[in-house]
Structure 1
Amino acid sequence: MAELNTGGDGGKGGKVRSKKSNPGVDLTAMVDLAFLLITFFMLTTSLSKPQSMNLAMPDKDSPKDPTTMNTPDDRSMTILMGKDNTIQWYLGLFDEPLVAPTKTTYGKDGIRQAILQRQAAVKAVYGDDKEKGLIVIIKPTDKTHYKNLVDILDEMAITNVQLYAIGDISKPEIELLEKDGMY
């Protein structure tokens, strides 16, 4: 084998000095660790799903105008949300309700039971047609806690209400809540 001599004494008889070499750092382990961490974080972020509720919004160019649709009063239930976890509901129009405004509570013994009863009554009259099911209008006030609105939306998912909307509360409805000490 051939050998390459880079240093030489060049014919001079001098001192033999050792070469000063820069210390080398082996980065192989660091690169392996970096790729393992990247792989780990890529897998864990794709496995964690954000928890959110699906909310369907109407199209801008909807051919149907909801104000012109004739919905029977016995299919529309309005939920009024007051302060301090208070809630009231009525059936039909506010001026001429089929069921007078009724105070209730959140949870399975309160609003959920009322929704399930109304769904059963609507189903008895209109059958299993999903387009003719119960319509719930949710009207929070400015005194309502955000948690209560989420609770009502959870009740819509639990009771499987197909048609529900969040609307603005009217002045007479606010006056009703004030009269009952809920606003």
Structure 2
Amino acid sequence: MGKVKVPRKSTYVDMTAMTDVAFLLLTFFMLATQFKPEEAVIVDTPSSTSEIKLPESKVIQITLDKNGRIFFGLEGIEFRKALLDNIASKRQITFTPQEKEEFGQLANFGTPLNELKSYLAMNKDQRKAYNEQAKGVPCDSTQNATNELKDWLIEARRVTNSTAVIAIKGDRDANYPVVKNIISTLQAQKANRFNFITNMEQAPQ
């Protein structure tokens, strides 16, 4: 009896449709993704075993470097623009639409109010050089007039309807008196719940 020959079938698979879908997804993520702006200062945070993560939005971040300089940041471009409007109204300062756009792109800043307009007029390289010798946001718990951190905090909580999470990102070598001033400023505004940002380390076995 003769053998029955099974017809060979082609193993060719048309990948055109899948390739189109892959490029569409890639294009979507490229257009929809918002990259986080570069922070004005880099700090070496202490380590801990805490696994609590901060939310992606509505975060007020107070950064303290090893030289005792304070940098202030608020997540969300629209929140930052509204924050600047409130500060401008409170301190009777006028900011142009371009300056508001520039401020909306800042992750954080360590600039006294009397230098903020000139800071916003700088290009990226000039700001980077400025940040290396910036004075930081003034925070003197004994003199309310010079405690600009208090004003930024009040208005940031106002634009977020007091729902923002407050986080302190301090360098491991930061001066304790400055940390104490920050905490005193928070407590004076009845902001008694806040987080410390740390590096993750392995929990003890």
TM-score band w.r.t. shorter chain: 0.3 to 0.5
Q: Which has the higher contact order (CA 8 A, sep 6+)?
A: 2
Q: Which has the higher helix share?
A: 2
Bigger proportion of residues as strand: 1
Give TM-score scaled by structure 1 length.
0.43
